């Protein structure tokens, strides 16, 4: 039966408080945390307000501020859930972020101007480091991931934790989001003219956002597991939905079509009707386009119901990747305590206007109210067109007892690659020309909007669709999704943007390049071009993220949410990327490459309906993580991932014909080779990086393409692909 997922712990640090009790009390009382910004230079800026965390005891100063905020909230959530000892050790951690280690990038580039940069801090820059560093600090050995879908990331992380529970990849997760106040985000939204000069007024004057910062962490647990250890249960995660607008890289579809679809997905997942929802924590950013689209969506779906609506961003500001998680904490508290949080800032005149805009919908203005809330929804809509909606319900609600789709067979039906070729040099690059795009129908106007990271992904994704024989149409566009894995994301665009504002000040941010500094921009550009509107996510988790994207996509397919998923690994190269890798020692002596690799995955029923060519079956897959402590070593994690994948595939180690391994570039790589030798002896082994250079996530993903081709050509019958990154391992068995 479908597993029940419950919330057993809460933790938060945000502009209105440094813990749950303090923050929730501020929200109930309508107390704002938005004041004049002190952490970013606002000289010359038209807007100077924001929501900053005032906390003098953030832990772990060796890490980026994003990690420190995350750990602060996670410690509270673990204490609230009663997690210690073995229970804590088995927990995984899924963290959403928009800007990752932007503060560390700012600090490094600022110090570089005076020659005082600390190269040991380079490893803190990528979003990939957040969950891994938090897991290491907290001693968590469950599956980890960083979901980097901008302002929807916090909500999606909770959903992904539930997916992993459904897939038997764990029973206990810390899930949520974190983002710090940064000059990058402030300069970017300032350049877009999206900041409010005064306190923001979401669903009211809608003149812009106030940025915020913080972290929200929820303990997501399988119901029987929670009951067995006697945990208190706040509520259940009843359902969730994720999709893509495929409309614009920064603006929502004004028709509200994508928002309405994701809300309906969440309702269907929960087996609920609109009338079952008593409260909606709206995305409610305070920008005119977002608020207008959301009003339309809410009216279309909830008119005629007894739903109440508010936006807590009026008090916290927009906490970016942490927003969905912070608001999830408030939504869970609303359900458990029967209190409607308000949207503050309405004058008496504003209330008259609101009454006309709201119509029959109950908008909670200025003051919290008591109300029985058996079921509530929280919405998040992001750059890149990503939409996410999640529903929380009181324990014991009328959950539909449907069978989980665990026996769905999944096949590789196509693939595309844009990969560098190693020439024995320290760096291998891939030179893309305009004709590479025009040959695929990409016009100059589209090309000009793309950074290198997005260019690579667009080309490999287009090729994967063509290889699979898929034509996107209105009939199938909502059943095709994308998961993109990356090690470092748009490094060049982020670094160049940050360097410019370090040199010239906050007002020098570029409105043209800022949208491409978010990790999920590549996925957004791809969806916009191809009009694929299904589940979309970008996961940053080191090199193995290119393989984890395939496991993630398989989970989505098994859930029945989509029929076709494109799973990719993408990492770019540039002078800036080379500099960071050389000065951090991350890559060792291996040739550094770049590229994008995309695999088309399809359910058996979809493939047979289309009469698609099936290259190979994804027979088993597994994810593991080691926090790097003696109680559970990385070698044990690697062995466990491989063993679990083989067991799911029903294959003995001796039956594996070929191994594709992307191991660590550190000294640990020799120990990983030892694990493979112990398990498989002299079985044929291939490292794709010998031909391409280390393309990181692209290399990890490429293994599955090479394995599928070899199986299709009847050179082998079975293959194992395994990859390492940021303390995590992913193993996939093909046959």
283 is catalytic: yes
Most distant CA pair in the chain, distance: 78
Of 5, 14, 45, 151, the active-site residue reads 151
Q: What is the CA radius of gyration of the chain?
A: 24
Helix locations, 59-101, DSSP H: 65-81, 85-90
CA 104, distance to chain mean position in Å, is 20
153-166 and 545-558 helices cross at what angle (nearest 10)?
70
CA pair distance 535, 561, nearest whole angstrom: 8
Q: What is the DSSP string of 201-246?
A: -TTTT---B-EE-EEEEEEEEEHHHHHHTT----EEEEEEEEEE--
CA 518, distance to chain mean position in Å, is 11
Least Cα distance to 725 among 702, 698, 690, 696 occurs for 696
CA pair distance 586, 231, nearest whole angstrom: 41
DSSP-derived 3-state class of residue 363: strand
Helix locations, 99-145, DSSP H: 102-112, 128-138
| 147 within 8 A of 538, measured Cβ to Cβ | yes
Least Cα distance to 354 among 195, 201, 211, 194 occurs for 201
Give the CA count within 13 Å in the CB-facing half-sphere of 513.
20
Strands (DSSP E) along 97-192, which ranges?
A: 144-147, 172-179
Residue 51 tokens read as: 């929501």
Residue 470 tokens read as: 């898929």
Residue 173 tokens read as: 């997760």
Of 205, 225, 318, 625, the active-site residue reads 318
Phi-psi region of 693 (alpha: psi -120 to 50; beta: other; left: phi over 0): left
318 is catalytic: yes
Of 283, 319, 467, 536, the active-site residue reads 283
Q: Which residues are catalytic?
A: 151, 283, 318
């Amino acid at each position: 039966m479908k597993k029940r997922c419950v919330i057993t712990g809460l933790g938060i640090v945000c502009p209105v408080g440094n813990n749950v009790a303090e923050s929730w009390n501020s929200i109930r009382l309508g107390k704002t945390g938005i004041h004049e910004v002190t952490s970013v230079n606002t000289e010359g800026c038209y807007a100077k307000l924001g929501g900053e965390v005032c906390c003098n005891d953030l832990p772990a100063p060796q890490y980026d501020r994003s990690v420190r905020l995350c750990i602060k909230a996670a410690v509270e959530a673990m204490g609230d859930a009663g997690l210690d000892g073995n229970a804590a050790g088995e927990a995984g951690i899924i963290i959403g972020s928009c800007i990752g280690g932007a503060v560390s990038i700012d600090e490094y580039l600022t110090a570089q101007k005076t020659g005082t940069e600390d190269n040991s801090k380079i490893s803190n820059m990528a979003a990939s480091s957040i969950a891994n560093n938090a897991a290491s600090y907290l001693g968590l050995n469950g599956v980890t991931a960083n979901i980097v879908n901008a302002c929807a990331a916090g909500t999606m992380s909770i959903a992904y934790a539930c997916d992993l529970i459904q897939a038997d990849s764990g029973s206990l997760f810390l899930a949520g989001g974190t983002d710090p106040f940064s000059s990058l985000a402030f300069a970017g939204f300032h350049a877009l003219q999206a900041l409010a000069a005064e306190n923001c007024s979401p669903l009211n004057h809608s003149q812009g956002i106030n940025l915020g910062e913080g972290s929200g962490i929820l303990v997501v647990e399988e119901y029987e597991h929670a009951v067995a250890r006697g945990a208190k249960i706040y509520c259940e995660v009843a359902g969730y939905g994720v999709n893509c607008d495929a409309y614009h890289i920064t603006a929502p579809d004004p028709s509200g079509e994508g928002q309405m679809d994701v809300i309906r997905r969440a309702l269907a997942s929960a087996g609920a009707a609109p009338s079952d929802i008593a409260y909606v924590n709206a995305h409610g950013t305070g920008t005119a386009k977002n608020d207008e689209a959301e009003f339309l969506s809410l009216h279309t779906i909830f008119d005629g119901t007894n739903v109440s609506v508010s936006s807590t961003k009026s008090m916290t500001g927009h906490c970016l990747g942490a927003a969905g998680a912070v608001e999830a904490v408030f939504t869970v508290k609303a359900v458990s305590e029967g209190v409607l949080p308000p949207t503050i800032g309405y004058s008496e005149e504003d209330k008259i206007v609101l009454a006309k805009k709201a119509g029959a919908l109950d908008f909670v203005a200025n003051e919290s109210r008591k109300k029985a809330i058996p079921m509530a929804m929280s919405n998040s809509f992001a750059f890149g067109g990503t939409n996410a909606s999640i529903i929380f319900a009181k324990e014991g609600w009328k959950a539909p007892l449907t069978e989980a789709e665990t026996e769905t067979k999944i096949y590789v039906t196509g693939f595309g690659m844009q990969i560098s070729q190693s020439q024995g040099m320290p760096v291998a690059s891939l030179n893309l020309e305009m004709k590479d795009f025009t040959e695929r129908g990409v016009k100059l106007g589209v090309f000009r909007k793309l950074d290198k990271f997005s260019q690579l992904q667009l080309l490999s994704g287009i090729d994967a669709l063509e290889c699979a024989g898929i034509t996107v149409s209105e009939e199938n566009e909502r059943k095709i999704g994308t998961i993109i894995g990356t090690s470092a994301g748009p490094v060049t665009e982020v670094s160049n943007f940050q360097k410019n504002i370090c040199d010239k000040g906050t007002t020098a941010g570029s409105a043209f390049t800022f949208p491409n500094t978010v990790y999920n921009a590549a996925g957004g550009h791809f969806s916009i071009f191809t009009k694929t509107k299904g589940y979309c996510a970008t996961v940053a988790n080191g090199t193995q993220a290119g393989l984890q994207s395939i496991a993630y996509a398989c989970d989505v397919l098994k859930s029945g949410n989509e029929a076709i998923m494109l799973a990719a690994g993408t990492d770019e190269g540039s002078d800036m990327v080379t500099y960071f890798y050389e000065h951090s020692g991350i890559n060792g002596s291996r040739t550094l490459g770049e590229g994008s690799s995309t695999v088309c995955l399809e359910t058996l029923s979809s493939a047979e309906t289309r009469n698609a060519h099936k290259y190979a079956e994804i027979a088993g897959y597994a994810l593991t993580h080691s926090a790097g402590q003696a109680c559970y070593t990385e070698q044990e994690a690697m062995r466990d991932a491989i063993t679990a994948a083989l067991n799911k595939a029903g294959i003995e180690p001796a039956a594996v014909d070929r191994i594709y391994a992307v191991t660590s570039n550190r000294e640990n790589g020799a120990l990983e080779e030892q694990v493979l030798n112990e398990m498989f002896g002299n079985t044929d082994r291939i490292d794709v990086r010998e031909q391409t250079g280390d393309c990181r996530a692209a290399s990890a993903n490429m293994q599955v393409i090479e394995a599928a081709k070899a199986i299709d050509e009847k050179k082998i019958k079975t293959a194992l692909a395994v990859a390492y990154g940021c303390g995590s391992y992913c193993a996939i068995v093909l046959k």
